[in-house]
Chain A
Amino acid sequence: MSLSRAFFAIIRRDLVLALRRRSEIANPLLFFILVITLFPLGIGAQPNLLQAIAPGIIWVSALLAAMLSLDSLFRSDFDDGSLEQILLSSHPASLLVLGKIIAHWLVTGLPLLLISPLLAIFLGMPTHSLGILLLTLLLGTPVLSLIGAIGVALTVGLRRGGMILSLLVLPLYVPVLIFASNAVEMAGSGLPVNAQVNILISILLMTLVLAPWPTAAALKMSIN
């Protein structure tokens, strides 16, 4: 099988598997909505306050939702041994792993993107910053999946990997959080956000090229 066929076969397989287990798609999404609902309840529903912190809330919640969804990335494949088969194949493991990450993002990251306009309305965000919010989520959530994949790959063999995973992954999410939430905030006050968006694009390209490599190495290590 050629590399590109193997790559797309993996994406297709993971998407089919995810559609059979819809709760895996729904859980991070519900978590995302729920956390955002908690903020007005916790800090009060003054429109000014909510509007001021909306970009930060949405992005922090997206970060947490992305982190929670990470466990499903390699878990079932690790348990039933198909991950071993994937790594044993003659194709470069990093590219096949990238296929899995893309499928995972389509299942967990993309829904966050689609539901976010609704949440932006909940929090009273100005409509003209909505486009930038979607753009930052489009550029940022794949980075979360790519970086997160390294963390899961390191901890997939552990019985209690959950807590340690957040410690590994969240500090690395800091740049995305800073630039993305700041872009949304600036867009809200009508300022240009080219710098932030360009930096997000470069972070995305860099992680896209670099992240699959340590992920594959860590998976090989975890499987031993």
Chain B
Amino acid sequence: MFLVPDPVVRFFHRMASPPHFYAFTERLMPWLVVIFLLLTAAGLYGGLYLAPADYQQGDSYRIIYIHVPSAWMSLFIYVVMAIAGAIGLVWRIKLAEIVAISSAPIGASFTFIALFTGSLWGKPMWGTWWVWDARLTSELILLFLYMGVIGLYGAIDDKRVASKAVAILALVGVVNIPIIHYSVEWWNTLHQGPTVTKMDKPSIHVSMLIPLLLMALSFNVYYLIALIQRVRIELLQRERSSQWVKNKVLEVKQ
């Protein structure tokens, strides 16, 4: 730990304790919500109003301001889940276990949004709701991976054991995601349908890119908000017999 300054280490040690985390996030939450609203407003204004229409796709390309950040988040959250799970496995930090499992439904929702908006975008572009495009297909498999994590957690009654199981599964999944992704991409180039066109990311103009990045940031903050809320609820549930939760409940009652 000699590489990390002492106050930072102390901050993380304190965060690992449920009552501290609970109190700290309570104060943090309004700020996060404000930042989220500002970023979303700026991103949507830039994306839906300021950015010009695409010369080929017209206005329907604007769905990327939801679609692309969701797709990024879906992968990012899986990685967060695996890292949190690994931390929980190695150092037995309860909070990390809770972060891992609380991330799963959020990640699954982002994956679903990415799939749904992708299919909405595909209707005018490809003429069908669904094309076995490489990105859509690997996103679909990612959704199944999330479902597996959620299902496994739900199936095991003892939640400490379930958290461990989820961590192992998430780690196995995170090793496999690149392999699955590239194999699907490879499969797609061989079986490419006649109508497939690609949303090319690198050729995007700055006036479209900035709102996209703002939206990506806002989605990140949203993830943090949703995660913190879920973690807080899960903490209260798991620690319901501990003194600090009892005090909290009494506080609310008065």
Pick out which of these stretches binds chain A: B13-21, B91-99, B178-186, B199-207. B178-186
Report if A178-B187 is in contact (Cβ < 8 Å); known contacts: A221-B165, A221-B168.
yes
A20 to chain B, nearest CB (A): 31
Report if A224-B141 is in contact (Cβ < 8 Å); known contacts: A154-B168, A171-B180.
no
Asked if B169 is at the interface of the complex by the 8 Å CB criterion, the answer is: yes
Find out whether the CB atom of B161 lies under 8 angstroms from the CB atom of A214. no
Residue tally, chain A, CB below 8 Å to B: 26
Q: Which A residues from 168 to 204 make CB contacts under 8 A with B?
A: 168, 170-172, 174-175, 178-179, 182, 203
Nearest residue in B to A169 (C-beta to C-beta)? B148
Q: For residue B145, which residues in chain A have a CB less than 8 angstroms away from its CB?
A: 171
Q: For residue A129, which residues in chain B have a CB less than 8 angstroms away from its CB?
A: none
Find out whether the CB atom of B152 lies under 8 angstroms from the CB atom of A214. no
Report if A175-B180 is in contact (Cβ < 8 Å); known contacts: A161-B155, A210-B175.
yes
Q: For residue A179, which residues in chain B have a CB less than 8 angstroms away from its CB?
A: 183, 186
A203 CA / B164 CA spacing, docked (Å): 26
A53 CA / B198 CA spacing, docked (Å): 28
Out of B89, B155, B190, which one reaches A158, CB within 8 Å? B155
Q: For residue A221, which residues in chain B have a CB less than 8 angstroms away from its CB?
A: 161, 164-165, 168
Task: Count A/B pairs, Cβ under 8 Å.
Answer: 68
A33 CA / B169 CA spacing, docked (Å): 31
Find out whether the CB atom of B148 lies under 8 angstroms from the CB atom of A174. no
Find out whether the CB atom of B152 lies under 8 angstroms from the CB atom of A168. yes
Q: Which A residues from 96 to 123 make CB contacts under 8 A with B?
A: none
A44 to chain B, nearest CB (A): 22
Find out whether the CB atom of A178 lies under 8 angstroms from the CB atom of B184. yes
Residue tally, chain B, CB below 8 Å to A: 27
A125 to chain B, nearest CB (A): 19
A224 to chain B, nearest CB (A): 6
Q: Which B residues from 132 to 178 make CB contacts under 8 A with A?
A: 141, 144-145, 147-148, 151-152, 155-156, 161, 164-165, 168-169, 171-173, 175-176
Report if A167-B165 is in contact (Cβ < 8 Å); known contacts: A158-B155, A174-B184.
no
Find out whether the CB atom of B168 lies under 8 angstroms from the CB atom of A178. no
Report if A164-B155 is in contact (Cβ < 8 Å); known contacts: A154-B169, A214-B172.
yes
Q: For residue B151, which residues in chain A have a CB less than 8 angstroms away from its CB?
A: 164, 167-168
Find out whether the CB atom of A150 lies under 8 angstroms from the CB atom of B172. yes
Find out whether the CB atom of A155 lies under 8 angstroms from the CB atom of B152. yes
Main secondary structure of the interface of B (DSSP, over half): helix
Q: For residue B89, which residues in chain A have a CB less than 8 angstroms away from its CB?
A: 217
Report if A154-B183 is in contact (Cβ < 8 Å); known contacts: A167-B148, A171-B145.
no
B160 to chain A, nearest CB (A): 9
A143 CA / B94 CA spacing, docked (Å): 33
Which of A160, A164, A178, A203 has the most chain B CB within a 10 Å cutoff?
A178
Out of A158, A164, A172, which one reaches B172, CB within 8 Å? A172
Q: For residue A171, which residues in chain B have a CB less than 8 angstroms away from its CB?
A: 141, 144-145, 148, 180
Q: Interface readout for A207-218 with B: 1 if CB under 8 Å, 0 if not?
A: 000100010011
Find out whether the CB atom of B183 lies under 8 angstroms from the CB atom of A175. yes
Find out whether the CB atom of A214 lies under 8 angstroms from the CB atom of B171. yes
A206 CA / B147 CA spacing, docked (Å): 25
A139 to chain B, nearest CB (A): 15
Find out whether the CB atom of A174 lies under 8 angstroms from the CB atom of B165. no
Find out whether the CB atom of A174 lies under 8 angstroms from the CB atom of B168. no
Q: Interface readout for A39-80 with B: 1 if CB under 8 Å, 0 if not?
A: 000000000000000000000000000000000000000000
Q: Interface readout for A146-165 with B: 1 if CB under 8 Å, 0 if not?
A: 00001000110110110010
Nearest residue in A to B157 (C-beta to C-beta)? A158
Q: Interface readout for B65-92 with A: 1 if CB under 8 Å, 0 if not?
A: 0000000000000000000000001000
Out of A155, A172, A178, A203, which one reaches B155, CB within 8 Å? A155
Q: B residues near A, CB below 8 A?
A: 89, 141, 144-145, 147-148, 151-152, 155-156, 161, 164-165, 168-169, 171-173, 175-176, 179-180, 183-184, 186-187, 190
Other than the given A167-B147, A170-B144, A172-B180, 5 more pairs (CB < 8 A) read: A154-B152, A164-B151, A171-B141, A172-B173, A174-B180
